[in-house]
Amino acid sequence: MYINGEWRNALSKKSFESINPATGEVIDTVPDGNAEDATLAIDAANNAFPSWAGKTAYERSAILYKAWQLMIQRKGELARLMTIEQGKPLRAAANETQYAADFLLWYAEEAKRVYGETIPSARGDQRFIISKAPVGVVAAITPWNYPISMLTRKLGPALAAGCTVVLKPAEATPLCAIAVYKILEEAGVPPGVINLVTAKDPKPIGDVFTSDPRIAKITFTGSTAVGRTLAKEAGHNLKRISMELGGHAPFIVWEDADPTHAAKGASLVKFLNTGQACISPNRMFVHENQAEAYVAELTSRVERLRAGNGLDDGIGIGPLVNEAAVAKVERQVEDARSKGAKVMCGGHRLMESGLDKGHFYAATVLTDVTPDMLIYREETFGPVAAVVPFRDGDDVLAMANDTPYGLAAYVYTNDIAKAMRTVEGLNFAIIGVNDINPTSAAAPFGGMKSSGLGREGGHEGIEEYLESKTAGFSI
């Protein structure tokens, strides 16, 4: 753990293992922190806050810029660690590391653009000056699926704004978090400004974060269920929150779209990170006239995806995070099959050639998926493409919006008016139009409805860590 600028063990001296999900091997052990460790970390962050907030934006920016340079220099090394600890193929891990570094650069730049306002007063003898101040000590909780970029997406804007941070990474990927912290330390972040508490059991740490009065804000990325609990507790104690939660993305292919192009996009975005992404398409609504060509192209691409250890050449799909994740996928596929869905490829665990040592499920395409199936309602978080053919007259937008989630959506059409109407009609906050990667450090990312509150990235991202201060001057 990293507290007040020192690398240390848990007070209890306990530790836990980080395990490679592709091989089941122990990679290393890390300190198993508890509530007391979290409180020490908050002490450090609280003590460091005045001097960090008091630095100029230019000083904070220079440190973030240095961290960006170091992350780019170590991209290969970080990607390798991520593949070993999280499982995604090496190339995807390198792409994620680049995305993670993008946030450090973006917020090194945004730090210098935290502008205020002057506002005319109704009184001739008064002037209003509005300035921005950092909210204070931030508690951050991050997931395992994007174990480096989800950290910099929070640490970048928090540090740029002048906040100090205590972070608890996911118990499945503590080593990636440690690697990010080593970079920030080397870049010159002063002691106490960023603190890291690793823990096997997240709940006691979450309880400290939501109850300690010195924490001004909780920023969380993870499941809707956990986010809801944290938001409730944080709300009771009137803390600010940002919640990046689950998704259930629709992927709409209109009748005029090119089904081959759409299927190519679908095969890339659905199986990215083995489907373990909050923006992963979970329901593919394909016009019935396009469905046959779309499913044929998608199936032929998916059949060619090789599963295995992400360090090996030619691997397109890595393991799932754990046994529970495999069991969830299995349950959704069996449920769909029993209710009439057709399995075009995959549809089973992978056990051969040593894959039984990890958590592998075959890349799967289901078609004829209907609303009574679990997969139509639940986030899968696994390698299953579920195709729902629709007819003229079906209200596809209503079908797409028929979910509590509102994170990402995708639409394929060659008709600009239809594209615009679809974007306007979808209750989702991130929409790809003939595009499978509508994300960037420069653009806001976040969800509507049960997918969360607040935005990360872009110029909006730093606002989440700032307060407005109104000063009325009598002159």
Interface with ligand NAD (CB under 6 A): 141-146, 168, 170-171, 202-203, 206, 221-223, 226, 229-230, 244-247, 278, 379, 381, 407, 447, 452
Q: Which is nearer to ligand NAD, 189 or 243 (CB)?
A: 243
CB of 437 to ligand NAD, least distance (A): 14
Shortest CB 175 distance to ligand NAD, Å: 14
Query: Of 102 and 244, which has the nearer Cβ to ligand NAD?
Result: 244
Nearer to ligand NAD, 265 or 457 (CB): 457
Minimum distance between the CB of residue 156 and ligand NAD, rounded to whole angstroms? 14
C-alpha–C-alpha distance, residues 16 and 24, integer Å: 14
Q: How would you label 149-159 residue by residue, b for 16+ Cβ within 10 Å and e otherwise?
A: bbbbbbbbbbb
- Judged by CB, which is closer to ligand NAD: 389, or 454? 454
In the residue annotation, 244 being an active-site residue is answered as yes
Minimum CB distance to ligand NAD, residue 308 (Å): 23
Q: Which amino acid does the sequence have at 265?
A: G
**Closest alpha carbon to 464 in 146, 239, 246:** 239
Closest to ligand NAD by CB, 121 vs 229, is 229
Q: Please, which residue, 276 or 413, has the CB nearer to ligand NAD?
A: 276
CB of 146 to ligand NAD, least distance (A): 6
Which residue in the block uniquely carries the two structure tokens 């806050």?
A: 49
Tokens 């890291």 correspond to 196
Own/partner long-range contacts of 413-416 (Cβ < 8 Å, ≥24 apart): 413/252, 413/254, 413/256, 413/257, 414/256, 414/257, 414/258, 415/254, 415/256
Question: Is 163 a residue of the active site?
Answer: no
Pairwise CA distance, residues 327 & 120, whole Å: 61
Q: Which of 471, 470, 472, 456 is nearest to 107 (CA)?
A: 456
Least CB distance from residue 19 to ligand NAD, whole Å?
Answer: 15
**Shortest Cβ distance from residue 220 to ligand NAD (Å)?**
7
Total H helices, total E strands in the chain: 15, 22
- CA–CA distance, 472 with 121 (Å, rounded to integer): 9
Contacting residues for 277 by C-beta, under 8 A, at least 6 apart:
145, 146
Catalytic pick among 244, 297, 379, 463: 244
Angle at 279 between CA 264 and CA 334, to 5 degrees: 80
Structure tokens at 324: 């529970």
Tell me which DSSP letter residue 256 carries.
Answer: T
DSSP, collapsed to helix, strand or coil, labels residue 267 as helix
CB atoms within 10 A of CB 402: 15
Which position among 85, 96, 163, 278 bears the catalytic label?
278
CB closer to ligand NAD, 145 vs 422: 145
> Which are the contacts of 412, defined by CB distance < 8 A and separation ≥ 6?
251, 252, 253, 254, 257, 258, 261, 262, 265, 434
Q: Which residues are catalytic?
A: 244, 278
